[in-house]
Structure 1
Amino acid sequence: MTSPSTAERIDSATSVPTLYHLLTRINRTLRTRGGNGNLSAGAAAALWTIINHAPIRLSALAERESVSAPTMSRIVASLEEQGYVQRTTDPDDGRARLLDPTAQGIEIIANTRTRRARLLAEAIDGLDPDDRATVGRGLTILADALGTT
């Protein structure tokens, strides 16, 4: 049996199943080793979006997070119960509500980012400069292709 050629290894490393598996492993490692307080991944993502786009309507938040309005409503209710989000009246439409983060919500995301960022920084610091640049370019290209915000 012969070993795979360089082209075969590159094709295997960039296949969709392999890339998806690698992204899942990275996310799982950052989540489990970096901690996220008592927030689920969906709640943490929603809170991050609220912090970065406040004030925001629930419908706009659901759209940004690519989930249904009922699902986002449950997530926001949980964030509100935990004191991470507050609802205010939309000055342009008294029937609508806007979501704003509380100081406690901002703090939990800042601390989560710090722990996860530290883990990520340690891993990236172990790479040589060319590999660091490659990782940065690759992730930027992939995020842009997915249309992430």
Structure 2
Amino acid sequence: MTSKPRPQESVANAQRLNDAIVRLRARLRVESGQHATGLTATQLAVLASVVREGPVTAARLASLEHVSAQSIAQSLAVLKAAGLIHTTPDPRDGRKKLVSAAPSATELVDKLLTGRASFLARAIEQVLPPEEREDVEKAIDLLERLASADLSEGGI
């Protein structure tokens, strides 16, 4: 029987989790070669969404990335200037533009994702003993549940 954690334990665990995620994301940026792109993490996240979802509207991208329309517009301007995306009129609503990825964008996103996955696979193999590798699957399930949690009544 497990006891319910005290609120201060939950806060401490939340902070440790946040710190670990921040450190891991920074490491993944380095290992994937993200810094060499000259793009920010936000711009690359938007680009990955365009590659995954495109053709897509800026409004849909803002929703996917949980950012403002202004923030998306700024990222899209940089990506367009870099030749990584292009826009075309929406055939269903001529007032809107659809954003699509250039082939070079797809290659870049694939390279970055492969670099991240390769680093993580090597780290799991080299750092974790076989009996702890099963725990990684459990941790992934838990992180996915946390990421999709709907806390709208108590949100920030």
Q: TM-score range with shorter-chain normalisation?
A: 0.7 to 0.9
Count how many residue pairs are aligned between Structure 1 and Structure 2: 138
Name the counterpart of 1:72.
Answer: 72
- Map residues 1-149 of structure 1 onto 2, 5 A cutoff: 15-36=13-34, 37-126=37-126, 127-147=128-148
TM (norm. structure 1) is 0.84
- Structure 1 residue ranges without an equivalent (≥5): 1-6
1:142 Cα offset (Å)? 1.6
* 1: CA distance, partners of 2:147 / 2:56: 22
- Cα distance, 1:99 vs structure 2: 0.8
Amino acid at match of 2:39: L
Secondary structure at 1:15's aligned position in 2?
helix
Give the Cα separation in 1 of the matches to 2:121 and 2:104: 25
Q: Which residue matches 1:4?
A: none
Counterpart Cα distance in 2 of 1:136 and 1:43: 29
What's the CA shift string for 1:30-57, capped at 9, x where partnerless?
1123211222110111111111111111
The 1-side partners of 2:63 and 2:23 are apart by 26
Q: Give distance in 1, aligned partners of 2:28 and 2:13.
A: 23
CA distance in 2, matches of 1:85, 1:143: 29
Report runs of 4+ in structure 1 exceeding 4 Å deviation. Answer: none
State the Cα deviation string for residues 46-77 of structure 1 (Å, max 9, x = none): 11111111111101101110110001100011
The alignment-based identity, stated in percent, is 29
Amino acid at match of 1:144: R
Deviation at 1:118, TM superposition (A): 1.4
Tell me the amino acid that sits aligned with residue 28 of structure 1: A
